[in-house]
Structure 1
Amino acid sequence: MRILLYVFITFLVFGSCKKGKEEPQKELQPKVIWKPYDETKDLESTKKLEQARMHLKLVNSKILDKNDIWKPLASELEDFSAEDYNRLKKFILEKDIPTIQQSVKKGELSYEELVKFYIYRIRKYESDNSLSLNAVISLNPKVVKQARVLDKVDKNTIKINSVFGMPIMLKDNIGTKDMLTTAGAIALQNNKTDNAFITQRLLDENALILGKANLSEWAYFLCIGCPVGYSAIGGQTLNPYGRMIFESGGSSSGSGAVVAANFCTAAVGTETSGSILSPSSQNSVVGLKPTIGLLSRSGIVPISSTLDTPGPMTKSVVDNAILLNALVGKDPNDTTSVSSETDFLIAAKDSIVKGKRFGVIKSFLQDSLYAIAIDQIKTAGGEVIEVEPEQISLPGFLSILNIDMKNDLPKYIKTYASDNININTIEDVIAFNLRDTLIRIPYGQGIFEGIVKDSTTKEGLEKIKEDLKITARKYFDSQIDEHGLDVVLSINNYHAGYAAVAKYPALTVPMGYTEKGEPKGLTIIGKSFSEAKLLQLGFWYESISKKRKMPIMYN
């Protein structure tokens, strides 16, 4: 017995000594599980908010188990610890693309680590019901393996001003081969598509498609007066600067939130009228709504072939220009598509502002943040001209969206949707949703019902389009031409409708925060294909104002 005891003690001592000489082991990853919770108190708190549109009926999706978002990548995170996450923060959080690329070149960071950092971060916050933003619908199950391949490339050949190896999130109405494309709607829940043209452009530039961002269902063209950022698939997108207090903006709500919360390097949204400008402003990020035709719409779930466009959403103007460079390209399947030889990053950095003339909306000077921005522009050498364009209505605007959607959705389904999608028309979607209204349309489908009722003829529609384009261009051009302006300065998405039907580009840049902490953006509007000028002036304003701050709960 004594001999056995001696052997046992000797084994323990020897074993302990041997273990002590080994390299310290990383802590095993705890199993991260999201659990549904009683949302009653959260929902009741929103009823106290002044804006009726923020009176929520639910927070989380009733059909998506959030664990399924990161489950396909769980094994990839087994060797990625909290220690790794904290070590990498300083190289990633709030850093622009060139800075991240420099860290990769120096060996401080790999593309695989960059991807794992974002996946870990998404899981960390989205599994916490007190912090989750419901900003992500899915993650690319192949993205870590794809990052490993890029890590084998000679780093000396990689340009720092490129999307090479950068994890990008796409709004979930943009086609991706490796993930479903749902537009947030249960009717498209199993929609397997090929890559949209712009998705393929990103892949051709060796960007990494990290995942799909939540959105306002059907790009906020479904229900009347409902919360922006809600979809049946993804639930309610929340604003990281004020969860269940401030709107997330829409319809590219998730794209704005994932960039603001540093869940990715950059994102792509889409806009018909305000759907990039609004969430970018609300989430204190830079958003560009390009001229119709600069970026392809092929493979994107549509509202309007007349007004739809994708656009970059980023933490900085530099990143916006880099992402735009990667997205451009003439698409033979999009009749509005044009080619572009502009290097938007070079244009953005050419920030000489001497002689540039800014049109300032006189009535907006009552907004303190706008007034401060204008003073900064004047102090830094910009010429400010106060203007007061006559307010005009845009009659028939809704009919453009109604009739286009009625025609464009069947075309999309026929051309791009997978064979298992059993809807073909707006009427089909309405009937599908009526089978389970509580789950599929808790806020109704009043806009879809209006689409069916709209009897505008083809001829009538063409007249509306032309009349509104002339009206909106006159609204801007009357000031731009008379005063020799380079751009007009607005706030958030206040002039999004005018820019939409004029087919003019608009760039919003963080302008600051209200006393309550709600973000606002300075929005720069110019004539068609003036993106280079918008980015140039946006870069200059960003450099003198430096207003963007990371949301405090997501540092």
Structure 2
Amino acid sequence: MKKIILLMILFSSAACHTQKNVKSESDISDISEKEFREFKVLDSKNIENQVVWNAVSKQMEDFTEAEYERLKPYILEKNILELHKSRVQGVFTYEKLVKFYLYRIKKYDRDNNLSLNSIISINPNVIAEAKLRDRDFFNKKLKPLIFGMPILLKDNINTENMPTTAGAIALKNNNTGDAFITKRLKEEGAIILGKANLSEWAYFFCGDCPSGYSAIGGQTLNPYGRKIFDTGGSSSGSGVSIAANFAVAAVGTETAGSILSPASQNSVVGLKPTIGLLSRSGIVPISSTLDTPGPMTKNVIDNAILLAALYGYDKTDAKSQALKYYGKHFYTDIKQGKVSLKGKRFGAVKRLLTDTLYVEAIKVLKQQGATIIEIEEENVSLPKFINLLNLDMQKDLPAYFKNHGAKRLSLSSVQDVIDFNKKDSVNTMPYGQKLFYGIVNDKANKQEFIDMKNVLHENGKTFFNNPMQKHNLDGVLSINNYHAAYAAVAEYPALTVPMGYTKKGEPKGLTFIGKPFMEKELLGYAHVYEQASKKRKAPKNYQ
């Protein structure tokens, strides 16, 4: 649900073409991806590596460099099905799998010339939990595919045993119970490895800061171009950590581009589901209208498996849908090789046909039997987009503090956070907190707010529905998070899959956008493309 908000919206035509010196009511430049520039802060001033590792250091003493090297060929870049096969064959235990990832995180993530700053905290009980999975491994009861798999959660998702900070010092001691989706993962037997860094407050905070920065976690860096390429936001740590093989998979959150952007920028698969498919309860919010969590993985089959584990009806979430799905619904056809693009019709945005990677991807889709129709983007705007987020967060953040935050927090509103940050501005907000000021200063009456949401929702649907109906399309093809804002307000699902690298080596993603609750279909389309193109390459310095 969340903050996934990444409003890093390299927006579609409406925002892309807004003149820099003219602010329109659709302009989201303050919360969109920024050109790369020098960082004010690189390493965290609020994480002590020794403290992060204290709880597991003793238990890691028996895991050697030699064991790490032995396991690399069986773990790096492998999908969940391959990992289970190795577990069955006795190549490793779940305990060894967890220790492999912990060893790798410690080796690469902080305090060295390859550090990525993608992890904020490690689950202190993670090795003990892995041992429990090993104990249950020989129980003949059929287990979910996520069983025993180490998963990272974006640090705006409530998790027992680790604080949920949203990257903010104000939430440093926000010790909570589990979010609904965290409980779902545990019920399915997944292992929570730790918490991933993010753009602070899901990038709806500073307005003039780099993607991937948080006061708690420091500046997340892109493994394909450390201090060169943008990480995307706000689920920066989730995207970076999976690109660098620090876990099997991660969960991010999105409001408008926050999964799609970092997934594309870090050459991983990211799914922003239909609003209502996954619960948002216990996730630090931006907008109860648009927020959603979603899976971020190295490949499509893992994405489908993680989505299946996250899915479940949450009666406390007003948008949660009680669908007739079961977990295997999302991955069975892929696993059984029953997905195809034959007879499928996709709209290719004419404006994007100057991108050689996009053109190459379209060629691959055609070779797999898809029909491609060139389409013009609909001339619809997204008026008062920022106002919607402001007004939602005015009420949604206090509701989180009341219902899901730690009781010891002396916070009940956005203004409380602003006041907290003023006490030590250099440490808590080196890039300022412009967007938080915008939140507290925004106003609208009840009817104005309803009208605002209705206009945005209808315009978003129009943007996709008109070409889809006119050309009988199964989906629209985009790049990265270029059309994330339209998909957000339409509440439509979008999935990005690696499409290659620019001449400079920067990753890009091919993004499939479909109608509500088409996740199964989008995953199938993306899997066919992924297997035919095989574009993802692990970052060379992290192999």
TM-score (ref. length: structure 1) = 0.89
Q: Secondary structure at the match of 2:498?
A: strand
Give, in angstroms, the shift of residue 66 of structure 1.
Answer: 2.3
From 40, 48, 58, the equivalent of 1:57 is 40
From 231, 235, 251, the equivalent of 1:252 is 235
- Answering whether residue 103 of structure 2 is matched by residue 115 of structure 1, we say no
Instruction: Tell me how far apart the structure 2 counterparts of residues 523 and 424 of structure 1 sit (CA, whole Å).
Output: 38
What does the per-residue CA deviation read over 1:468-501, in whole Å, with 9 as the maximum and x for residues that have no partner? 1111101100000010000000000000000000
Instruction: Tell me how far apart the structure 1 counterparts of residues 143 and 66 of structure 2 sit (CA, whole Å).
Output: 27
1:289 maps to 272
1:308 maps to 291
- Answering whether residue 330 of structure 2 is matched by residue 344 of structure 1, we say yes
Q: Secondary structure at the match of 1:152?
A: helix
Give, in angstroms, the shift of residue 347 of structure 1.
Answer: 3.9
From 497, 506, 516, the equivalent of 2:504 is 516
Instruction: Tell me how far apart the structure 2 counterparts of residues 304 and 443 of structure 1 sit (CA, whole Å).
Output: 23
Q: Secondary structure at the match of 1:310?
A: strand
Q: Secondary structure at the match of 1:64?
A: coil
1:151 maps to 134
Instruction: Tell me how far apart the structure 1 counterparts of residues 36 and 245 of structure 2 sit (CA, whole Å).
Output: 27
- What code does the residue aligned with 2:147 have? F
| Conserved? CA contact 1:328–1:339, under 8 Å | no
1:549 maps to 537
Q: Secondary structure at the match of 2:170?
A: helix
Instruction: Tell me how far apart the structure 2 counterparts of residues 256 and 171 of structure 1 sit (CA, whole Å).
Output: 10
- What code does the residue aligned with 1:374 have? I
What does the per-residue CA deviation read over 1:397-428, in whole Å, with 9 as the maximum and x for residues that have no partner? 11110010010000000001112111111111
Q: Secondary structure at the match of 1:268?
A: strand
| Conserved? CA contact 1:70–1:119, under 8 Å | no
| Conserved? CA contact 2:34–2:210, under 8 Å | no
- What code does the residue aligned with 2:85 have? Q
2:302 maps to 319
2:195 maps to 212
What does the per-residue CA deviation read over 1:212-232, in whole Å, with 9 as the maximum and x for residues that have no partner? 000000000001121010000
- What code does the residue aligned with 1:309 have? T
Instruction: Tell me how far apart the structure 2 counterparts of residues 51 and 500 of structure 1 sit (CA, whole Å).
Output: 20
Q: Secondary structure at the match of 1:354?
A: coil
Q: How does 1:44-443 map to 2 (within 5 A)?
A: 52-155=35-138, 157=140, 162-340=145-323, 341-342=325-326, 343-348=329-334, 349-443=337-431
Instruction: Describe the shift of the 1:140–1:383 C-alpha distance in structure 2 as closer, same or farther (beyond 3 A).
Output: same
Instruction: Tell me how far apart the structure 2 counterparts of residues 117 and 479 of structure 1 sit (CA, whole Å).
Output: 48
| Conserved? CA contact 1:174–1:181, under 8 Å | yes
| Conserved? CA contact 2:126–2:191, under 8 Å | yes
Instruction: Tell me how far apart the structure 2 counterparts of residues 240 and 357 of structure 1 sit (CA, whole Å).
Output: 35
Instruction: Tell me how far apart the structure 2 counterparts of residues 183 and 445 of structure 1 sit (CA, whole Å).
Output: 14
Instruction: Tell me how far apart the structure 2 counterparts of residues 474 and 492 of structure 1 sit (CA, whole Å).
Output: 21
- What code does the residue aligned with 1:279 have? P
Give, in angstroms, the shift of residue 53 of structure 1.
Answer: 4.7
Instruction: Tell me how far apart the structure 2 counterparts of residues 449 and 360 of structure 1 sit (CA, whole Å).
Output: 39
| Conserved? CA contact 1:479–1:485, under 8 Å | yes
Instruction: Tell me how far apart the structure 1 counterparts of residues 516 and 498 of structure 2 sit (CA, whole Å).
Output: 23
Instruction: Describe the shift of the 1:215–1:154 C-alpha distance in structure 2 as closer, same or farther (beyond 3 A).
Output: closer
| Conserved? CA contact 1:105–1:155, under 8 Å | no
Instruction: Describe the shift of the 1:398–1:51 C-alpha distance in structure 2 as closer, same or farther (beyond 3 A).
Output: closer
Give, in angstroms, the shift of residue 158 of structure 1.
Answer: 7.0
Q: Secondary structure at the match of 2:485?
A: helix
| Conserved? CA contact 2:342–2:368, under 8 Å | no
2:494 maps to 506
Give, in angstroms, the shift of residue 379 of structure 1.
Answer: 2.0
| Conserved? CA contact 2:384–2:452, under 8 Å | yes
TM-score (ref. length: structure 2) = 0.91
Q: Secondary structure at the match of 2:393?
A: helix
What does the per-residue CA deviation read over 1:450-469, in whole Å, with 9 as the maximum and x for residues that have no partner? 11111122221111111111
- What code does the residue aligned with 2:307 have? L
What does the per-residue CA deviation read over 1:229-266, in whole Å, with 9 as the maximum and x for residues that have no partner? 00000000000001110011100000001100000000
Instruction: Tell me how far apart the structure 1 counterparts of residues 143 and 344 of structure 2 sit (CA, whole Å).
Output: 30
- Answering whether residue 525 of structure 2 is matched by residue 537 of structure 1, we say yes
Give, in angstroms, the shift of residue 391 of structure 1.
Answer: 3.5
What does the per-residue CA deviation read over 1:257-286, in whole Å, with 9 as the maximum and x for residues that have no partner? 110000000000000000000000000000
- What code does the residue aligned with 1:99 have? E
Aligned length: 506
1:462 maps to 450
Instruction: Tell me how far apart the structure 1 counterparts of residues 482 and 90 of structure 2 sit (CA, whole Å).
Output: 45
- What code does the residue aligned with 1:310 have? P
Instruction: Tell me how far apart the structure 2 counterparts of residues 102 and 379 of structure 1 sit (CA, whole Å).
Output: 32
Relative to structure 2, which stretch is displaced further, 503-512 or 457-466? 457-466
Instruction: Tell me how far apart the structure 1 counterparts of residues 144 and 402 of structure 2 sit (CA, whole Å).
Output: 38
The RMSD of aligned alpha carbons is 1.3
- What code does the residue aligned with 1:134 have? N
| Conserved? CA contact 1:169–1:268, under 8 Å | yes
- What code does the residue aligned with 1:345 have? Y
Q: Secondary structure at the match of 2:511?
A: strand
1:11 maps to none
Structure (1 or 2) with the larger CA radius of gyration: 1
Q: What residue ranges of structure 1 are gaps of 5+ in the alignment?
A: 1-49
What does the per-residue CA deviation read over 1:43-72, in whole Å, with 9 as the maximum and x for residues that have no partner? xxxxxxx96453210101112112322221
Instruction: Describe the shift of the 1:156–1:516 C-alpha distance in structure 2 as closer, same or farther (beyond 3 A).
Output: farther
Q: Secondary structure at the match of 2:285?
A: coil
Q: Secondary structure at the match of 2:136?
A: coil
Instruction: Tell me how far apart the structure 1 counterparts of residues 303 and 219 of structure 2 sit (CA, whole Å).
Output: 26
- Answering whether residue 461 of structure 2 is matched by residue 473 of structure 1, we say yes
Instruction: Tell me how far apart the structure 2 counterparts of residues 169 and 337 of structure 1 sit (CA, whole Å).
Output: 23
Instruction: Describe the shift of the 1:540–1:160 C-alpha distance in structure 2 as closer, same or farther (beyond 3 A).
Output: farther
Instruction: Describe the shift of the 1:161–1:367 C-alpha distance in structure 2 as closer, same or farther (beyond 3 A).
Output: farther
2:3 maps to none
Structure having greater relative contact order (Cα 8 Å, sep ≥ 6): 2
Q: Secondary structure at the match of 1:477?
A: helix
Instruction: Tell me how far apart the structure 2 counterparts of residues 331 and 171 of structure 1 sit (CA, whole Å).
Output: 20
2:24 maps to none
Instruction: Tell me how far apart the structure 2 counterparts of residues 334 and 325 of structure 1 sit (CA, whole Å).
Output: 18
What does the per-residue CA deviation read over 1:92-148, in whole Å, with 9 as the maximum and x for residues that have no partner? 000000100110011111000000000010001124421110000000010101111
**How many percent identity over aligned positions?**
57
